């Protein structure tokens, strides 16, 4: 029986090739988009799941409740907290601390190279996390000071085909590191990304590190706990707070835990953390909704086309009923055809996904794995999706078609069925409601990203090249700066403790230079030389910049926000005390000599905070302002100068505007996804509207002929055929505007600084949808208007 249904369905597809193509291609687009989004959502949900202890790992965070900071949650903790928790809490099996996370200057056989990402880490790291060891020791890997474990990629980069185990590489040309193990490359879906792990066990000359790791008064470690079972978060938070209090930690630092499963998607508000490529739960929800909407759009498109074409199959159904077919058989026949179409579309969609995803991965900077579609779970899910979409898309048309009464059907009475017309109108409204809502969403996402890229950050990032020296070469900063300034194409060079876009460190401050144990004010700090502010185009609002004409060793420049926070109307000349050494009450007083206009020293994701600058002419980060001409020659000069001043180290540079764009790479990828899938939705809706306008024109062929005989102009005919579609789209516009406004307002809430949603984007989306609709149906409308009425009336 089903074989007969299948053969009949295949014949019907081949009989009406154009109509079948539109049905299949619409579903193909919908399934393709849904599969691609599924792969990207699966990527986001897969982070860190390769660790066998994944459900039982938590990381420690700190709520910084001190005044002066708007972002209260930070990813660093007291160094002693993790080991103390492992010692005192029975549910904690062990702990591991990470520090650092930056790049390293290495050398082997006097050949310099960069390690892109590294951590100093406790030897217990391999007890908590699963980073497979492929060569070398399997136990005690990082037990000794100076021991390192490197990834296979870094091993090949340093040693080529040599066996790296037991080899020694130099760090910053003066520290020996011994390779004890080679690790498999870290999976891309790990929030911890590194090429090298360096033992956190202090060496003989690291007394400062030894003391720092034993303190309860500061926070700088990334700490993780391995538990004996999934965490009871509230209970564990209470116990950690008690441990912190017992050891006299600062009261404004409150430890809390975050399950490992939440690190990738629920960390948007966390500062000072190591979390590669972190995303947001809201983005996952939005993409999921888009996938469902596009799938609904494709299914609705299918239903609309089938019901619109129902009159063409009315006689077939009537004849089947006359010769004895029962309604159940007719329903099964149409459902089989629907599932057949969906199955063909699914096969085409899989082929499209295999081609598209590698290209999209490059565009989105993502790593969705197309082989996931071949997993049994995905095959089952996809098969279920084909059945569900096939049945849902074909169920209503099947019941409508099978309900025809043979006598009436053979007279073609369904052609003017009010119920059939109302159904198609409702489906068109649904299609364009989805499409217009996505268009509005795309416009708002684009405007927000444009706002981020063009917002006044308070500094200039154009034609600025950044260089980064390691700590050992920081003393050469002034020499390097002076050598660079010999080139007339280099306009200025400023140095600072951190480049723009990096999160600054935070310290306690004491206004008016007076120690107060009850005062807990923390602000961000940046150390710069006298050239940094003019190089970056930061505006002085009051007072003066640092200058070689003054002794600025105890001078301070603050931003406007710090002046507002401290309620200083005349800040120049005020004193600010900073702690000097381990004794909290011992302060060094600095004098405010200037106030700069507020600038976004981090990203616009976070609110502007109070910050200040201290003076030093030897800093790690260099900002080099260059002329727009002769860029390549300038870069060559900079490289030669670097190698002369910093021999044995690699020269690497970046343009500040490119670094700025990289800060928002995830947001840009999301915006691109939104745009691409919205375009696909509009294409699906347009295909359906094209076919529907053709069927409408065909059904009204006699009416058009009579109108033309009675004197109607071509313009009148065109207006008559297109106006009802335009009316439906205007109704869709109203529904879509309300939905898009509320959804996109929620999305914008994620940004500290965002656009206001104006009427313009809604008007543009509505006008665009009407234009697209008119262009889509104009061919069929004009064809009908220009047709010879004699042909239409003769055919009747």
Percentage helix, strand, coil, to 5, in the chain?
50, 20, 30
Count Cβ atoms within 10 A of the Cβ of residue 542 and give its class: 0-12 exposed, 13-18 middle, 19 or more buried.
Answer: middle
| Least confidently predicted of 157-171, 353-367, 390-404, 439-453 | 390-404
pLDDT for residue 125: 96
The pLDDT of 659-686, averaged and rounded, is: 84
Strands annotated E in 163-237: 168-171, 175-183, 196-199, 222-227
The pLDDT of 688-711, averaged and rounded, is: 67
Closest by CA to 292, choosing from 443, 399, 437, is 437
* 413: pLDDT strictly greater than 60: no
Q: How far apart are CA 426 and CA 304, in angstroms?
A: 9
The pLDDT of 481-498, averaged and rounded, is: 92
pTM of the model: 0.84
Q: How confident is the model at residue 585 (pLDDT cuts 50, 70, 90)?
A: low
**Residues 539-576 pLDDT 10s:** 999 999 999 999 999 999 999 999 999 999 999 999 99
pLDDT for residue 243: 94
pLDDT for residue 354: 94
pLDDT for residue 554: 94
**Residues 498-546 pLDDT 10s:** 888 777 888 888 888 666 666 678 888 999 999 999 999 999 999 999 9
Q: How far apart are CA 591 and CA 593, in angstroms?
A: 6
* 620: pLDDT strictly greater than 80: yes
| Least confidently predicted of 32-46, 159-173, 769-783 | 769-783
pLDDT for residue 552: 93
pLDDT for residue 171: 87
* 351: pLDDT strictly greater than 90: yes
* 723: pLDDT strictly greater than 90: no
Instruction: State the SS3 of 663-708.
Output: HCHHHHHHHHHHHHHHHHHHHHHHHHHHHHHHHHHHHCHHHHHHHH
Q: Which residues contact 379 (CB under 8 A, 6 or more apart)?
A: 373
Encoding tokens for residue 26? 């619409």
Instruction: State the SS3 of 564-617.
Output: HHCCCCCCCCCEEEEECCCCCCCEEEEEEEEEECCCCCCCCCCCCCCEEEEECC
Encoding tokens for residue 735? 């529904």
Mean pLDDT, rounded, of the chain: 84
In this structure, are residues 52 and 129 in contact, taking their beta carbons and an 8 Å threshold? no
User: Higher confidence at residue 105 or residue 55?
Assistant: 55
* 316: pLDDT strictly greater than 80: no
pLDDT for residue 406: 60
In this structure, are residues 732 and 432 in contact, taking their beta carbons and an 8 Å threshold? yes
* 256: pLDDT strictly greater than 60: yes
* N-term to C-term CA, the chain: 37
Q: How confident is the model at residue 244 (pLDDT cuts 50, 70, 90)?
A: very high
User: Higher confidence at residue 147 or residue 769?
Assistant: 147
| Least confidently predicted of 246-250, 620-624, 640-644 | 246-250
**Residues 61-79 pLDDT 10s:** 999 887 776 667 889 999 9
pLDDT for residue 702: 65
User: Higher confidence at residue 698 or residue 384?
Assistant: 384
Encoding tokens for residue 535? 């190089």
Q: How far apart are CA 217 and CA 235, in angstroms?
A: 24
Q: How confident is the model at residue 407 (pLDDT cuts 50, 70, 90)?
A: low
**Residues 366-386 pLDDT 10s:** 999 999 988 888 888 888 888
pLDDT for residue 149: 96
pLDDT for residue 754: 85
Other CB atoms within 10 A of residue 755 CB: 17
């Amino acid at each position: 029986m089903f074989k007969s249904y299948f053969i009949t369905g295949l014949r019907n597809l081949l009989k009406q090739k154009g109509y079948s193509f539109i049905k299949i291609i619409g579903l193909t687009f919908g399934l393709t988009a849904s599969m691609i989004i599924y792969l990207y959502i699966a990527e986001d949900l897969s982070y860190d799941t390769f660790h066998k202890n994944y459900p039982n790992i938590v990381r420690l965070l700190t709520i910084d409740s001190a005044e002066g900071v708007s972002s209260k949650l930070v990813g660093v903790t007291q160094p002693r907290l993790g080991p103390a928790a492992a010692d005192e809490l029975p549910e904690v099996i062990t702990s591991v601390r990470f520090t650092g996370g930056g790049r390293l200057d290495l050398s082997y056989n006097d050949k310099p190279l960069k390690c892109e990402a590294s951590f100093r880490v406790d030897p217990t790291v391999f007890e908590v996390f699963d980073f497979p060891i492929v060569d070398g020791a399997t136990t005690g890997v990082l037990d000794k000071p100076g021991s390192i474990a490197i990834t296979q990629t870094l091993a090949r980069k340093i040693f080529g085909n040599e066996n790296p185990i037991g080899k020694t590489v130099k760090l910053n040309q003066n520290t020996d590191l011994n390779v004890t193990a080679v690790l498999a490359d870290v999976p891309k879906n790990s929030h911890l990304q590194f090429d090298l792990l360096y033992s956190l066990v202090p060496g003989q000359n690291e007394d400062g590190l030894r003391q720092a790791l034993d303190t309860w008064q500061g926070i700088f470690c990334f700490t993780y706990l391995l538990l004996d079972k999934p965490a009871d978060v509230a209970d564990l938070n209470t116990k950690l707070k008690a441990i912190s209090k017992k050891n006299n930690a600062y009261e404004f630092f409150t430890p809390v835990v975050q399950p490992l499963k939440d690190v990738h998607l629920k960390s948007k508000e966390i500062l000072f953390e190591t979390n590669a490529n972190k995303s947001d739960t809201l983005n996952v929800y939005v993409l999921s909704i888009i996938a469902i909407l596009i799938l609904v759009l494709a299914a609705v498109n299918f239903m609309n086309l089938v019901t619109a074409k129902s009159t063409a199959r009315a006689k077939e159904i009537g004849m089947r009923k006359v010769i004895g077919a029962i309604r159940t058989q007719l329903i099964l026949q149409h459902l089989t055809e629907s599932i057949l179409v969906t199955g063909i579309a699914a096969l085409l969609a899989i082929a499209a996904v295999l081609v598209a995803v590698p290209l999209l991965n490059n565009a989105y900077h993502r790593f969705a794995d197309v082989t996931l579609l071949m997993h049994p779970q995905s095959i089952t899910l996809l098969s279920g999706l084909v059945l569900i979409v096939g049945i849902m898309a074909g169920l209503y048309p099947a019941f409508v078609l099978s309900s025809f009464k043979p006598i009436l059907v053979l007279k073609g009475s369904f052609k003017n069925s009010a119920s059939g017309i109302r159904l198609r109108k409702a489906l068109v409204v649904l299609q364009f409601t989805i499409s217009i809502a996505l268009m509005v969403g795309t416009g708002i996402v684009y405007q927000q990203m444009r706002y981020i890229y063009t917002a006044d950050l308070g500094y200039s990032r154009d034609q600025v090249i950044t260089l980064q020296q390691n700590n050992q070469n920081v003393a050469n900063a002034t020499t390097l700066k002076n050598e660079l300034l010999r080139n007339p194409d280099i306009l200025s060079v400023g140095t600072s403790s951190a480049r723009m876009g990096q999160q600054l460190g935070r310290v306690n401050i004491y206004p008016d230079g007076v120690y107060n144990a009850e005062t807990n004010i923390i602000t961000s700090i940046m150390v710069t030389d006298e050239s940094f502010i003019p190089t970056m185009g930061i505006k002085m609002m009051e007072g003066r910049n640092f200058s070689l004409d003054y002794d600025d060793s105890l001078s301070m420049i603050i931003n406007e926000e710090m002046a507002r926070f401290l309620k200083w109307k005349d800040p120049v000349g005020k004193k600010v005390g900073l702690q000097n050494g381990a004794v909290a009450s011992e302060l060094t007083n600095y004098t405010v000599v200037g106030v700069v206009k507020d600038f976004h020293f981090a990203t616009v994701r976070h609110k502007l905070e109070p910050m200040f600058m201290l003076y030093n002419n030897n800093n790690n980060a260099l900002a080099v302002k260059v002329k727009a001409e002769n860029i390549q020659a300038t870069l060559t000069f900079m490289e030669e100068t670097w190698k002369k001043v910093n021999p044995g180290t690699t020269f690497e540079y970046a343009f500040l505007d490119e670094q700025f764009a990289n800060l928002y790479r995830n947001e840009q990828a999301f915006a691109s996804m939104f745009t691409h899938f919205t375009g696909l939705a509009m294409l699906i809706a347009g295909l359906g509207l094209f076919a529907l306008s053709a069927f409408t024109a065909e059904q009204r062929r006699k009416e058009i002929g009579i109108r033309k005989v009675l004197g109607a102009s071509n313009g009148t005919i065109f207006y008559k055929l297109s106006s009802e579609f335009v009316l439906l789209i205007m109704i869709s516009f109203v529904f879509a505007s309300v939905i898009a406004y509320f959804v996109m307002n929620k999305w914008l809430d994620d940004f500290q600084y965002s656009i206001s949603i104006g009427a313009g984007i809604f008007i543009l989306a509505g006008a665009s949808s009407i234009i697209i609709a008119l262009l889509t149906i104009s061919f069929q409308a004009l064809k009908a208007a220009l047709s010879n009425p004699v042909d239409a009336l003769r055919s009747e």
